[in-house]
A and B are shown apart, each in its own frame.
Chain A
Amino acid sequence: GEDVEQSLFLSVREGDSSVINCTYTDSSSTYLYWYKQEPGAGLQLLTYIFSNMDMKQDQRLTVLLNKKDKHLSLRIADTQTGDSAIYFCAVRSNDYKLSFGAGTTVTVRA
């Protein structure tokens, strides 16, 4: 099955950019997602990218996909305290299931 890996923790200063990285193993992965989980809340879909794209930008969020290296990243520009959360990378292959990483806990410090 699909194996999705993320680093577990990221600490960033308010106003700086955050970059969260994710690697996956299945080259047939079709859609790749970033979810955000705030304390006590569900998994909120932030953005997604189709595997035939290499970049997608949505306001402060930029997703980069390197399909050759099976590497996905999420960049958050001008990180704010409200961006403190756990960020999950998720990958969908042809079997429709989502395979998740363990989540990256982002802490924004003043």
Chain B
Amino acid sequence: EPEVTQTPSHQVTQMGQEVILRCVPISNHLYFYWYRQILGQKVEFLVSFYNNEISEKSEIFDDQFSVERPDGSNFTLKIRSTKLEDSAMYFCASSSNRGLSEKLFFGSGTQLSVL
């Protein structure tokens, strides 16, 4: 069964450093998402991406965050200058369509720890 893959599974970084989280969505999917979960809190929507541009973003997704689809397969989330509060599990997801009934398929997440 096709799946969304994320690398790395764990990332440790120093505060102020840049990190790039990588995702390979399911190959025929067109819509891509990042969600995150701070330990003990809810999974939160960050951003959705379609046709090489952001279609929607939350208030969490400020200027420190950016997303990119650098080639036909990868979808990346970059945090320019990490803060302690960016420590979380980051989930990538993809879907084939954007309809309300469309199911999102999630990766296994990248655990980001900012020291």
Contact = CB atoms under 8 A, between A and B. Distances in A.
Does B bind A? yes
Interface of A: 4, 30-31, 33, 35, 40-45, 48, 50, 88, 90, 92, 94-103
Given A96-B48, A98-B104, A101-B42, 11 more contacts: A33-B103, A42-B4, A42-B108, A45-B104, A45-B105, A45-B106, A88-B43, A95-B56, A97-B48, A99-B42, A102-B42
B100 A42 contact: no
Residue with the greatest number of chain B CB neighbours at <10 A, chosen from A43, A44, A48, A97: A43
| SS of B interface (majority) | loop
A79 B90 CA distance: 29
18 contacts: A4-B42, A30-B101, A41-B108, A42-B91, A42-B106, A42-B107, A43-B91, A43-B106, A45-B105, A92-B100, A96-B48, A97-B48, A97-B56, A99-B42, A100-B42, A100-B44, A102-B40, A102-B41
A77 B34 CA distance: 33
A50 B56 contact: no
A29 to B, nearest CB: 10
Contacts, number: 59
B65 interface: no
Contacts of B101: 30-31, 50
B25 interface: no
Interface residues of B, number: 27
B36 to A, nearest CB: 11
A88 B106 CA distance: 13
A41 B105 CA distance: 12
A41 B101 CA distance: 24
A94 B100 contact: yes
Nearest to B98: A96
A101 B41 CA distance: 8
Contacts of B9: 40
A102 to B, nearest CB: 5
A11 B112 CA distance: 29
A96 B42 contact: no
Nearest to B106: A43
Contacts of A33: 103
